[in-house]
Amino acid sequence: MPNATPAPASELLELLTLERLEDNLFRGQSRDIGTKYVFGGQVLGQALSAAQATLTQPRGAHSLHAYFLRAGDIEHPIVYDVDRTRDGGSFSVRRVTAIQHGKVIFFCAASFQDAEDSAEHQLSMPEVPRPEDIEPAHAIPEQVLATLPTKVQRWLDRSGPFEFRHVYPRDELNPPKRPPYQQVWFRLAEKVGDAPELHRALLAYASDFHLLGTATFPHGISYYTPNVQMASLDHALWFHRPFRADDWLLYSIDSPSAQGSRGLARGLIYDRHGRLVASTAQEGMIRVVGGAAAPASTGS
């Protein structure tokens, strides 16, 4: 009989299922998805999974603040050391340190809270086409792929666990200059279980897609531009309301500034019914080697 989920989705679920070495010590495997180093979303999702595994009360994550210190080696596993910083009456805090080859490559703090009722408000979801009304991205012609580095070929030619549909598609291989914002519908390609902690870990993984890239839009460059170096420096994620990562979510992203070889990007994540379920922010390195990118301004 065929598997219930295709290989990419099954592989991601396996990636987020950590091996417990001690009460507060976990090991996660790494995957080569075509990036030069470990994908930042993998470390985010695994770190949150490790933190959630140490909770003694059913509290949901409401925020995560992380720093990427060193590039991860895709050929080796990562060890996650969790510090049970606090368990209070309503909140719990965990600090997670990711270690590889004896060095810290990442650390984060995650906060968890009991469910509570309160007054609510949110910014409205942008008016965009529904995901069903947007055609899936076309495959890149083989003759074009053949001209690219092997790693880039693997990244662009792979069938990943998440499906993305861009409201305003951009040719990342020949990027035009555009204002620094975009909207992207995304979802896990197959249905998974109902556990909220699984869907939060999946969203942490997916939240690293497309975020920093938005800061390159005004400059006509991208991750694939040969003389451009890009890397995440930090990442913040706030969970607001329940959601499912296997149903369509809208990622509405903007970049208010880029300077000093760094770019800042912010994101709001809505479910298909218009509820704001999460927010993100990230600063990353965007370095043009051998020449500066053209300055751009979207101000009046």
* Separation between Cα atoms, residue 274 and residue 126, nearest integer Å: 9
The end-to-end CA distance of the chain, in Å, is 60
d(CA 137, CA 266): 24
Count Cβ atoms within 10 A of the Cβ of residue 27 and give its class: 0-12 exposed, 13-18 middle, 19 or more buried: middle
Nearest to 278 by CA among 231, 236, 232: 236
What are the distances in angstroms from CA 113 to CA 62, 94, 165? 7, 12, 33
* Cβ atoms < 10 Å from Cβ of 244: 20
Instruction: Give me the catalytic one of 182, 207, 232, 279.
Output: 232
Active site residue 52: no
Q: Which residue has the tokens 């101000």?
A: 299
Specify whether 49 is catalytic: no
> Which candidate in 92, 182, 208, 254 is catalytic?
208
Contact 104, 161 (CB under 8 A): no
How far is the C-alpha of 35 from the C-alpha of 111, rounded, in Å? 29
Tokens encoding 236: 């913040």
The closest alpha carbon to 248, from 137, 169, 132, 155, belongs to 132
**Residue 279 bears catalytic tag:** no
- Residues belonging to the active site: 208, 232, 282
